[in-house]
Amino acid sequence: MADRIIFVSSAFRHGCTQTDIEWAIETKIYEGLLKGEDDIYAIIGFATSGNPIEIFYNLLDAETLKIFHAMPLRSKIADQLND
């Protein structure tokens, strides 16, 4: 995992907090490129509540993630990751 994380305000649009996102990164059960994308990565992990969340990010460089999306895990995202 990267040493530095930048949070874009859109990452908090769906109610996830910075603490939720950081915990989800620590508890991730999946990390990889989002299907059909070449520069958007997905993490599936658990919020502090224990509920699964999806996180999307870009790699700015080898040590920096830019997180721009986080929300409760949607079935369409879970299905994409299982393909």
CA–CA distance, 16 with 56 (Å, rounded to integer): 13
| pLDDT computed for residue 36 by the predictor | 87
| pLDDT tens, position by position, 9-54 | 999 999 999 999 999 999 999 999 998 889 999 999 999 999 999 9
Rounded CA separation 50/60 (Å) = 29
Domain boundaries, the chain: 4-82
Give the full edge-to-edge strand order of the sheet including 64-72. Answer: 4-7, 64-72, 52-61, 41-46, 30-33
Task: Look at residue 74 in the predicted model and tell me its pLDDT.
Answer: 94
Q: With 70 as the cut, is the pLDDT of residue 83 above it?
A: no
Fold classification of 4-82 is Nuclear Transport Factor 2; Chain: A, (3.10.450)
Mean local confidence (pLDDT), 55-74 = 96
pLDDT score for 80: 81
pLDDT (mean) for 68-73:
98
Answer whether residue 67 shows pLDDT above 80. Answer: yes
